[in-house]
Amino acid sequence: MVWFRDDLRVTDHPALDAACRRGAVVALCVLDEESEGVRPLGAAAKWWLDGSLRSLRESLRELGIPLVLRRGPAGTVLPEVLERTGAGGITWNRRYGGPELAVDAGVKQWCAEHGVEAHSFQAALLHEPWTLRTGAGGPYKVFTPFWKALRALEIRQPLPVPGPGRGAAAEVAAAAGTEDQVDWDLVPSPERAAGLAAVWTPGEAAAWERLDDFLDRVEDYAEGHDRPDRDGTSRLSPHLRWGEISPFAVWDAAVRHRSEQGSSPGLEKFLAELGWREFNWHLLHQVPDLHVRHVRPAFDAFPWRDAAEAAGDVRAWQEGRTGFPLVDAGMRQLRATGWMHNRVRMVAGSLLTKNLLVDWRVGEQWFWETLVDAEPASGPGNWQWVAGSGADASPFFRIFNPLTQGRKFDPEARYIRRWIPELAGDEGVDPHEPGLLGPSVGYPEPVVDLPASRGRALDAYASIR
């Protein structure tokens, strides 16, 4: 049995490869939202999971392998399915969050006690947290030396797709008691689903297409990845989050591109972004409750605004009605597509945590609910970076000015005009100056005064220094 989790692919899948070398295979995916500490998926992530599972089912069918779906706590479901199918072994690719590691350890212990072979494999990270250590033997807390150390290590080649004809007999799969995916209720409202489907195609084939397309223009990434008005990013994040393509495959494709086309600042910047993803996963291994606990304990005393007092501003931020066009364009892009440009994520996060003094965990929870690429490492890791409470964090006094950022990274306001219809009609109006628009445009006034709120934020930070 191969236990699929956040690795919904057949290429470079070490657990699948190992199982296929041993005999007949059944694939199992468990929707576990009940095990202690496991965080239930947000709505956008559930939509992606639904499409990704459908793609995986087709890929496995081509190999002759049935996919069994079960819902419930994995520590209960796995033993039941193993007993019902009579499987003599189980393989999976390792996870690194605290609750997930605990679940996996429990399953492995049950297998040891009941004579079932259990083997786990490295598949989601280029190097695992316990293998990359500082000279003093501890984990890295600063990205630059982490990245230098990672680059110095060998990275394995990706594995091919296993040969076909490895599937278990139909009656064996039937014994597992598979569930109907429709009953999992993963798809949101038709309107919301249509908006996501207009932008995204989940699945392994789509991941490879996106990677190939991106590498054709990777030379522009160094500059283009900061421009929300351009198609300058890879948009691989949801595919990597769901393991539809492995980091080894992405790394290998990028390195082969470099050997064929030569190096470029864009390619090197892209590899560094893969490194930042790794850094956040290593951080999560150190801080299993990263989405609720400050990496820097001093922030436990930070004077965030009272939730009731800030409720109106939070709602305006969520709905893209803050009066700051770049932020509002990003928040509306998020609501419509389940994704937001990374530069705009930083600016929106800075406005919320610093100008509005709202606890970063409020923003992280909203992103968890609305992003198709929401995952437990990069999400909270990046939120803590913006808030100043994380590892290798942006200094708290670095407060992004959303108007300046808009002029710099969306100079012709194409991104703003696309996502804010109120600002799209009058070419004579400057969307970068909300204070000059006037009420007739129908766009809200800024929710906060930028200079005054900056001073308030710096005073709040001074109180915990």
List the binding residues for FAD: 221, 233-237, 270
Q: Which residues lie below 8 Å from residue 183, measured CB to CB, with a gap of 6+?
A: none
Identify whether the C-beta of residue 249 lies closer than 8 Å to the C-beta of residue 12.
yes
Least Cα distance to 92 among 141, 32, 30 occurs for: 30
Planar angle of CA 269, 270, 273, nearest 5 degrees: 90
Q: How far apart are CA 458 and CA 375, in angstroms?
A: 30
Q: Which two tokens stand for residue 243?
A: 């393991």
Task: Measure the CA–CA gap between 263 and 234, rounded to whole angstroms.
Answer: 17
Neighbours of 272 (CB within 10 A): 15
358 backbone φψ class: left, alpha, beta (φ>0; ψ -120 to 50): beta
Write the burial class of residue 304 (CB in 10 Å: 0-12 exposed, 13-18 middle, 19+ buried).
Answer: middle
Q: In this structure, are residues 203 and 55 in contact, taking their beta carbons and an 8 Å threshold?
A: yes
Distance of CA 224 to the CA centre of its chain: 21
Binding-site positions: 221, 233-237, 270
Q: Which two tokens stand for residue 79?
A: 């033993």
Residue located via tokens 């989601």: 124
Pair of tokens at residue 357: 């003094």
Residues 6+ apart with CB under 8 A from 14: 93, 121, 122, 123, 159
The answer for 301, left when phi > 0, alpha when psi is -120 to 50, beta otherwise, is: alpha
Residue 317 CB contacts under 8 Å (≥ 6 apart), including other chains? 327, 331, 348, 351, 352, 356, 358, 363, 447
